[in-house]
Chain A
Amino acid sequence: MRQQLVAGGSVIVLALIIIAIAASYPMGTMARMGPGMFPIFSGIVLLLIGGGIILQGLSAEDGLVDEISLRPIIAVFAGLVLWTLLAPWIGLVPATVTLVVATSLAQPGASWLGIAATSILLSAFGAATFIYGLGIRLSIFGG
C-alpha cells in the first residue's frame, strides 16, 4: 500500500471521528464558545491537512508502507501488558522477570544468562528504589 495514502487516510478518519464526537457538545456562540466549538474547528483543520497529505501522495512518486516485523511488536507489548497484569497480582519480582523474558525475545539470539542477570538487577533495583525508597503500593512477591 502507498504510504502517503494510508497516512492521509488515517488522518481523515481521525478527523471525522473527532468531528462526530464533538458535534454532540454544545456549540455556544462566537462570544461565548461552548465546549464543542474548538474541537470541531480542530477537526476541520485536521480534515484539510489529511486531504493535503493524500493530494501530496497522489501527485508524487511515493514509497510503499514498510514491511512490518511483528516479532518485536508482539514481544514488547506482551511484556508491557503482562507486567501490568501480574505486578498487582503476584508481585514485582515475577512480573519483572516476565517482562524481561518477553521483551528480550524481541530480537533473535538473546542469551539466557543476560536475561537472568537483567531480571535480578532490575528486580533488586526496583524493590529497593520504588518499594522501599518511594513507598509505592506493590508487593515484592505475592498480591
Chain B
Amino acid sequence: MQSQLLSGFITAFEPANLLFCFIGVTVGTFVGVLPGIGALAAISMLLPITYYMEPTAALIMLAGIFYGAQYGGSTASILMNLPGTAANAVTCLDGYPMSKQGRAGVALFITTMASFVGGSIAILALIFLAPAIASFALNFGAAEYFAVMVFGLVAGSTMWSGSTLKGLAMVTFGVVLGLVGLDMQSAHPRFQFGLPQLSEGLSLVAVAMGLFGVSEILVNVMRSGSDPLRVQHVTLRSLLPNRADLRVSIFPTLRGALSGSVMGILPGAGPTIASFLAYAVEKRVSKNPEKFGKGAVEGVAGPESANNAAVQSAFIPTLSLGIPGDATSAVLLGALMIHGIAPGPNLVTTEPELFWGLIASFWIGNVLLLILNIPLIGVWVSILRIPYRALYPAMLFFICIGVYSVNNNVLDVYVVIFFGAIGTFLLLMKFPIAPLLLGFILGPLIEEHMRNALLISRGHLSIFVSSTISQVFLGATLLLILLTIIGGMRKGKTEEEVRA
C-alpha cells in the first residue's frame, strides 16, 4: 500500500494535477465563502471544462471544490451569521457570538485547523478502508448491488430535508430521467419524444447545470437583497488563539473527526448531519453546556472537524463501491463515467493511478487550503463584500458558454434552460432537488442490476433476499421508508429544506 500511495503522490505532484488541485480548492473556498452558491452548483458549472482534461486531473479539481467549500463555508457563518453551505449552519451558533465578542479571527483560525485535522483523519480512514471494502465488494452480485443502491437512493433522499416524501418523489423522478434514450438491452427508445439527439440519454452536464446552476441562481436572486453586505475587518494578528482556546479545541476536533468519518460513509448522512451530530455530542460531553450558543470554542471546532471529515470519507463508498452517498459524490461519479471509466470495486485495481493520485491530492489540497484560509483569510473576507448582483450575470454566462462548449451545440443549452425551468418550479414548490441528481445517476445502474439479477434467478424475486448483504440493505431500506411514513403522519408539516 505504501508504494501505491507513494506513486499516488507522484501523480498528484505532476504540475498539471497540482495546478488543477489548486484551482479546485480555490474555487471551492470561493463558493464556500459566498452564501447562496454551493459546491454542487460550482461543480456542475465546471463539468464542461473537464471534457478537455485527463480524468485524474478532472477528478482532482472537482473533488477539490467539494472539500474546499467546507473550509470556506464557515467564514460567512462566523462573520455574518449566514452559513456558506448547509453543513456550516451549526457553526453560526457559536461562531457568530465569538465574532460579536471580537474573537472572529480566533474562530476562523480554530475552524480552519479543525477542518484540516478532521479532513486528514478521514483521508487516513479512506486509505485503509476503501481498498478493503472494494476487495470485499468484488463478491457482490447483481442482487447485492441492487440492494445497496436502492438503500443509497432512499437514504440519500429521506435524510436530506424536512419533507422526506418530497425527497423520495425527487429521487424517483431522477431515476426516470436517467432512463431517457435507447434502452441498453433492447435498443428500444424511451421518453425520447422523437428527438434523435436524446438517444444517448440526457447529458449530466445539462441536467446538473439546469437544476443546480440556473434554478439556484434564480432563487437566490429572488431572495437576496441588492445592498452590499457589511462585513467586519479581520486582521492576521486577531487570528491567533490563546493557549486555552487551543487546549479546549483538541478533543472536540478529534471527536468531530471520528463522528464525521462515520457519517460520511453512511449513504445519505453526509456533512450537514455530521456537523449537527458533532455539535450535539460536544454539548452533551461538556462540563458546562450552558456556555454553548454564547461563543464556545468547542461548538465551532467539533462541527467544522466533522463536516470536513464527512466530505472526505464520503469518497469511501463512492470510490470503493461506485455508490455515491449524496448528490455531489454522484456528480463526481458521473464525471468519471463521462471519461468512460466505470466506477465500482474494480476501480482500485484497474485505475490505480486515478485512485491513489486522487487520494494523495486530497492531502495536498488540504495543505493548500490551510494556506489559503489562514494567511489569505483577508481576501475571502473581502469577497463577502461583493454583492450578489455583480456575480450572478457572470455565473449565467458561464453556464451558457460552458454547456455550448461541450458539443458546440445550442440544443444542449436549451436542455439546460428547460431543466432550469423545472428546477425553479421544484424549488418554489419546496422540493429538494439534490436527490433528483442522485436518482438520475444511479437509476440506469439499478435497472441494469435488477434485470441481471432476475435473469439469473429466472424471474424469481427471492434472489433479492437470498444473501445476508442484500437482506440487511433491503431491510434497512424498508425500515427507513416505514420511519418516513410514521414521521410524516406524526409531523405532517414541511420544514424549510436545508440547501447548500
Contact = CB atoms under 8 A, between A and B. Distances in A.
B93 to A, nearest CB: 26
A118 B218 contact: no
Contacts of B397: 83, 96, 99-100, 122, 126
Q: How large is the interface on A (under 10, 10 to 19, 20 to 34, 35 or more residues)?
A: 35 or more
Given A32-B455, A33-B454, A136-B404, A77 B488 contact: no
Interface stretch (B96-104, B172-180, B286-294): B172-180
B190 A109 contact: no
Nearest to B446: A38
A140 interface: no
Contacts of A33: 450-451, 454
B172 A45 contact: yes
Contact of B179 (A38, A65, A92): A38
Contacts of A107: 221, 224, 226, 389
Interface stretch (B259-267, B312-320, B416-424): B416-424
B428 A50 contact: no
Contacts of A60: 491-493
A46 B494 CA distance: 19
Contacts of A77: 417, 420-421
B447 A38 contact: yes
Q: How large is the interface on B (under 10, 10 to 19, 20 to 34, 35 or more residues)?
A: 35 or more
Chain B interface mostly: helix
A11 B459 contact: no
Interface string A88-103: 1000100010011001
A121 B390 CA distance: 12
Given A14-B173, A30-B454, A76 B396 contact: yes
A59 B457 CA distance: 43
Interface in A1-60: 3-4, 6-7, 10-11, 14, 18, 21-22, 25-26, 29-35, 38-39, 42-43, 45-46, 49-50, 52-53, 56, 59-60
A35 B485 CA distance: 31
Contacts of A56: 163, 165, 488-489, 492
B428 A35 contact: no
B221 A76 contact: yes
Q: Which 6 A-B pairs have the closest CB atoms?
A: A60-B492, A30-B459, A31-B459, A35-B183, A35-B188, A137-B408
Given A31-B458, A77-B420, A80-B417, 19 more contacts: A3-B429, A29-B459, A35-B188, A35-B190, A42-B179, A42-B443, A56-B163, A60-B493, A62-B493, A62-B494, A63-B494, A72-B221, A84-B404, A84-B417, A96-B397, A99-B400, A103-B393, A107-B224, A107-B226
